[in-house]
Structure 1
Amino acid sequence: MSNPVFFVPAGSLDGTGPGSLFVLEGSEARHAVTVKRLGIGEPVDIVDGAGARLTGIVSDAGPGTLSVTASTVVFEEAPAVRLVLVQALAKGDRDELAIETATELGIDAVVPWQAERSIVRWKGERAARAHAKWQSVVTAAAKQARRAWIPEVRAALDSAALAKAVAAADLAVILHEDAKNPLRTVLEGASEWAAGEAPREVLLIVGPEGGISPREVTRFSDAGAVTALLGHHVLRSSTAGPAAVVLASDILGRWS
C-alpha cells in the first residue's frame, strides 16, 4: 500500500537529504496527527507539489507537528509532453468533477473556459472564489493520487483569449463529435516531436453541456486547432476530458 502524502510549499524540501529530520507543521500536520492518526514508526511521503518527494518514517508526532526522518529524497521529472485540459465551465459541478478525475489521471494544468454556451458564469468576486475552489479540487485530487506534482490552475479565459492561447500552443485539439479524425490519429501524428527532449504542450479543449458553438470551432480552427473524435458516443463534459487524458497519456508515452 502506498504511503499517505502531505504537501508542503514548493522549495520546502530543498537541501533535505537521507537521514535529515523534516518537521511538518500547520494544517497538513494537524491532519496527519488528528485525522490520519499517524504514529512513530509509520511511513509517510512529504511532497512539495513541484516534483520533490521525501519518503521517511515518523519519528515524533505532537499537537500541530509531525517529525519525519528522511529515507530518500527524490525529484520526479515533469513529463516531456505536458497535457493541459481546457475545461468549459459547466453546471452541476461537472467541471469540477472533470478536473478532479483528470488530476488523478495525470493532467499537468487546467484552464477554466467561459464558453459561449456555458450556463455557469464567473464574474467579480465569484470568479476569485471559483478559481480558488478549482485549485483546492486539484490539490486534493493530487494528494489522493499520491502525486508529487500539483496541476496548475491557469487564469480563466473567454473564447477570444482561448483563441490566442490556441495560436501559441504546440498542439490544440478540439474534442468534437463531428470531427472526422480520431484523437489517436491526431496524437500519433505528433509522435515525432513528442519523442524529443524539448517540453511541449497539448491543449485538450472540452466544451460545455450544450457543446462548442460552430463559431467557436471555426475561430479556434483558424487559430491552428484541430478537431478530433474521442469515440463513437457523445460523452458528458465531465467525462470527455479525463477520457482524452487517458488516451493521450498512452499514445504520447507518458505512461511507459
Structure 2
Amino acid sequence: MTPPLFWIDSVPSVGQTAELTGVEGHHALTVTRIRVGDQVLASDGLGTVATCEVTDTSGKDRLVLRALDHTTVAAPTPRVTLVQALPKSERSELVVELATEAGVDRIVAWQSARCVTRWVGPRAEKGIAKWRMVARTAAKQSRRPCVPLVEGPAGTASVRSLVSDVVGGGGVVAVLHEDGARSLADLPLNAANEVVLIVGPEGGIDPGELEDFRALGGIPVALGPEVLRTSTAAAVALGAIGVLTDRWARGRDR
C-alpha cells in the first residue's frame, strides 16, 4: 500500500531530516495516526516527493522525517487543462475533486453564458480559494506530488483567447458536447503538447459560445451515448485521455 502523503515546504534530500508540523503534522498524528517507524510521502505540491521514515514525534503536531529517497516527478504529457463552467453549488467541489484525482494539470473556472451560479467580487475570491483547497486535498488523497493550478473565474472572451492560443501552438481543444460528431479517440492527442477540455454548465454550452470555439479550432466531442453531468464529464474524459495517451503509462513506469 502506498504510504500517505503530506505537504511540506521543503522536501529533504536522501539521509536528511525535516519536520512536519502545523495542520499537516496534526493530521498525520491525530487522524492518520502515524507513529515512529512508519513511512510517509512528503511533497511540496510542485512535483518533488520523498519517501520518509518517521524517526520522532512530539505533542499533537510534530514529526521528524528522514528521507529514504528523493524524486522530482516530471509533468505528464500532453498537459491537460480543464475549462469548467461553474456548476451549481452542491456539485461545485465534486468537479474539482474528481478532476484532480483523474490527473488534471490546470483548472480554469469559467463564467459561461448559461451558468446559474455567478461568482462576482468577494464571492469569486471565496470560490477560487475553495476550489484550490479542494484540489490540494484531492491531490493529497490520491498521492499526487503536483497540485493542479486553479485559475479564474474567466469570462468567455478569455476562454476564446485560450482556445486560439492552444490551437495555434499545436494543442487540441475538445469541447465536450452531447451533439459532438467526434470522439476523443478521433483526435491527435499524442501529437498535442496540450489538451484543453471545455465543459459547459447544467444547461449546456450556449450555441453562440459553441460556434465561437468551433471557429477558433475547438472540436465538439461526445464522450459516449450517455449524457453526463457537468460534475462528472471531465473525470470521464481524463480517464479516456489517460488510456489514449502516454500519461498513465508514464505513471506506471514510476
**Fold similarity call, TM over 0.5:** yes
**Pairs aligned (count):** 244
Aligned to 1:175: 176
> 5+ residue gaps in structure 1?
195-199
Query: What's the CA shift string for 1:68-111, capped at 9, x where partnerless?
Result: 11111111111121111111101143232122111111111111
Q: 1:21 aligns with which of 11, 17, 20?
A: 17
* Contact preservation (8 Å) 2:189, 2:244: no
Whether 1:225 and 2:218 are equivalent positions in the alignment is: yes
Q: Does 1:66 align with 2:63?
A: yes
Q: Does the CA contact (< 8 Å) of 1:33 and 1:62 recur in 2?
A: no
Cα distance in 2 for residues equivalent to 1:147 and 1:167 = 30
**Is contact 1:7–1:49 with CA below 8 Å preserved after alignment?**
yes
Unaligned runs of 5+ in 2: 250-254
TM-score between the two structures when normalised by the length of structure 2: 0.93
Distance 1:135 1:210 in 2: 25
TM-score, normalised with respect to structure 1: 0.92
2:159 corresponds in structure 1 to: 162
Identity %: 39
- In structure 1, the partner of 2:100 is 103
Aligned mates of 2:184, 2:232 — CA distance in 1: 15
Q: How is 1:144-223 mapped onto 2 (pairs within 5 angstroms)?
A: 144-169=141-166, 170-186=171-187, 189-191=188-190, 193-194=191-192, 200-223=193-216
Counterpart of 2:52 in structure 1 is: 56
Cα deviation for residue 245 of structure 1 reads 0.4
CA positional deviation for 1:35: 2.0
- Write the mapping of 1:35-50 to structure 2, written as runs, cut at 5 A: 35-50=31-46
Q: Is the 8 A contact 2:51 2:70 kept in 1?
A: yes
1:157-198: CA deviation from partner (whole Å, max 9, x where unpaired): 111111011101122110011111112112xx243x24xxxx
Say whether 1:34 aligns with 2:27.
no
**What is the alpha-carbon root mean square deviation over aligned residues?**
1.2
Q: Once superposed, which parts of structure 1, at least 4 consecutive aligned residues long, lie more than 6 Å away?
A: none
Q: Residue in 2 aligned with 1:83?
A: 80
Distance in structure 1 (CA, Å) of the matches to 2:106 and 2:66: 32
- Equivalent position amino acid for 1:220 in 2: F
Deviation of the 1:219 alpha carbon: 1.1
8 Å contact 1:172–1:203 — kept in the other structure?
Answer: yes
SS at match of 2:68: strand
The CA deviation at 1:67 is 0.3
In structure 2, C-alpha distance between the alignment counterparts of 1:248 and 1:190, rounded to whole Å: 8
